[in-house]
């Protein structure tokens, strides 16, 4: 490790070789960086473009040491990793962005909400739920009320680890389904939102920051389906959301790209749902629709380079391409889809398709949001993944 290297000479280590890591590497390689990836799968999406690949489980402390020895700065593509190993490296002088302190807080949904609320960031009301009686008490009108959301504090994503409790009669089933009694669970006030939005915010080592345009998100089966940019929300709600995203970066003293997921109510109130200390699925639109995309600015941030412009060049719509069946992935319909020059397909190169697994995405840009939406929906009907019609 050489802390005196100039930014462009730094070697980057990335924990995770999935699609987010792959897209980070594409930007890093364009700038000439040397990249080593740590991932359990030898055929992970990043394997073909990594300069080095350490094949090991994410809880393997020795693998983190090896990654540190081959890197000047370490970053990560998702948060469910060995924070203790990273903390040990940080204590020994290795550079890790975003910081391990922030990662440890964000990894736990309860401590994440606690940190945000203590710093004046609006979040739904919440409390730990240590048993059925606790949930029933929280479900009373004078507390959180019904419906309420139950969440495992650790490890949940894409709707996994969440359960909606509509009434006291459904509390036990929801509690048991999340491993209640064995897994720490929190209860959260249900926000009757009008829109789900997210904002990608980037902060540099010197405190400089850039804020991308707000994205409007819709989900199916708790998995992100469609992102529309710019978000169709009021100017007042947009201003609130942008201020909140900037504040979140201050709270966590983040370095790199962060995604702040938020709820917008019909009355225009804005609440933070979750924070991800990394580039995010809902920020994929930035690849085609912004001058410098989220992955480039993440790499710029962790290596100490100035940020690129985040201005929206054209309205955009991103649609996730999910696996429809198990087996070797196959992409079809590309020729017909590409008859529209404003549509772009990203296929991640995963070795196996599974139902609901993110296998790729498409982005359409247009002169207006309506134009981009129409192009994206036409493309959705022509591109095939794993032999199943989307």
pLDDT per residue as tens digits for the range 75-130: 999 999 999 999 999 999 999 999 999 999 999 999 999 999 999 999 999 999 98
Indicate the burial class of 221 (C-beta count within 10 angstroms; 0-12, 13-18, 19 or more). Answer: exposed
What are the Cα distances from residue 52, in Å, to 65, 135, 213, 254, 334?
Answer: 14, 48, 34, 27, 31
d(CA 217, CA 224): 7
In this structure, how many other beta carbons lie within 10 angstroms of the beta carbon of residue 43?
15
Residue extent(s) of CATH 3.40.50.20 domains in the chain: 7-96
Q: Which CATH number fits domain 7-96: 3.40.50.2300, 3.20.20.70, 3.40.50.720, 3.40.50.20?
A: 3.40.50.20
pLDDT band at 9 (very low <50, low <70, confident <90, very high): confident
DSSP codes joined into one string, 3-29: TTS-GGG-EEEEE--SHHHHHHHHHHH
Pairing between β-strand 256-265 and β-strand 270-276 as defined by DSSP bridges: antiparallel
Using alpha carbons, select from 289, 288, 251 the residue that is nearest to residue 99: 251
> Do the Cβ atoms of 241 and 233 come closer than 8 Å?
yes
pLDDT per residue as tens digits for the range 12-68: 999 999 999 999 999 999 999 999 999 999 999 999 999 999 999 999 999 999 999
Q: Which CATH number fits domain 125-189: 1.25.40.10, 3.30.1490.20, 3.10.129.10, 3.40.120.10?
A: 3.30.1490.20
Kind and range of the H or E run holding 219: strand 215-220
Q: Is the pLDDT of residue 2 over 60?
A: no
- Classify domain 193-389 by CATH architecture: 2-Layer Sandwich (3.30)
- The pair of three-digit structure tokens given for residue 77, joined into one six-digit string: 């593509």
Residue extent(s) of CATH 3.30.1490.20 domains in the chain: 125-189
pLDDT band at 387 (very low <50, low <70, confident <90, very high): very low
Residue extent(s) of CATH 3.30.470.20 domains in the chain: 193-389
């Amino acid at each position: 490790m050489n802390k005196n290297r100039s930014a462009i000479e730094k070697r980057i280590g990335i924990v995770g070789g999935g699609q987010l890591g792959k897209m980070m590497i594409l930007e890093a390689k364009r700038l000439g960086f040397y990249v080593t990836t740590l991932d359990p799968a030898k055929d992970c999406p990043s394997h073909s473009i990594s300069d080095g690949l350490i094949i090991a489980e994410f809880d393997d402390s020795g693998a983190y040491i090896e990654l540190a020895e081959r890197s000047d700065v370490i970053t990560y593509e998702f948060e469910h990793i060995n924070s203790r190993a990273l903390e040990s490296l940080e204590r020994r002088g290795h550079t890790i962005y975003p910081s391990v302190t922030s990662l440890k807080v964000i990894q736990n949904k309860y401590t994440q909400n606690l940190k945000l609320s203590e710093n004046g960031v609006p979040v739904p009301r919440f409390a730990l739920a240590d048993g059925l009686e606790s949930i029933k008490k929280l479900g009373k009108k004078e507390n959180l009320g019904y419906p309420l959301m139950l969440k495992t504090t650790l490890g949940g994503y894409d709707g996994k680890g969440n359960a909606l409790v509509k009434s006291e009669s459904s509390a036990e089933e929801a509690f048991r389904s999340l491993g209640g009694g064995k897994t720490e669970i929190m209860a959260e006030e249900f926000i009757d939102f009008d829109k789900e939005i997210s904002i990608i915010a980037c902060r540099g080592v010197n405190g400089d920051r850039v804020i991308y345009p707000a994205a409007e998100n819709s989900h199916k089966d708790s998995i992100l389906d469609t992102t529309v940019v710019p978000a169709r929300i009021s100017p007042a709600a947009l201003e609130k959301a942008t201020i909140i995203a900037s504040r979140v970066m201050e709270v966590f003293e983040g370095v790199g790209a962060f995604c702040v997921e938020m709820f917008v109510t019909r009355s225009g109130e804005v609440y933070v749902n979750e924070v991800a200390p990394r580039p995010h699925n809902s920020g994929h639109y930035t690849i085609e629709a912004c001058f410098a995309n989220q992955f480039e600015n993440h790499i710029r941030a962790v290596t100490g380079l100035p940020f690129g412009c985040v201005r929206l060049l054209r309205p955009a719509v991103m649609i996730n391409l999910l696996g429809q069946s198990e087996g070797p992935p196959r992409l079809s319909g590309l020729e017909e889809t590409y008859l529209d020059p404003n549509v772009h397909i990203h296929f991640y190169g995963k070795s196996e398709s599974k139902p609901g697994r993110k296998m790729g995405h498409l982005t359409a840009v247009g002169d207006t949001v309506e134009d981009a939406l129409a192009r994206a929906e036409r493309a959705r009907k022509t591109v095939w993944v794993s032999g199943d019609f989307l």
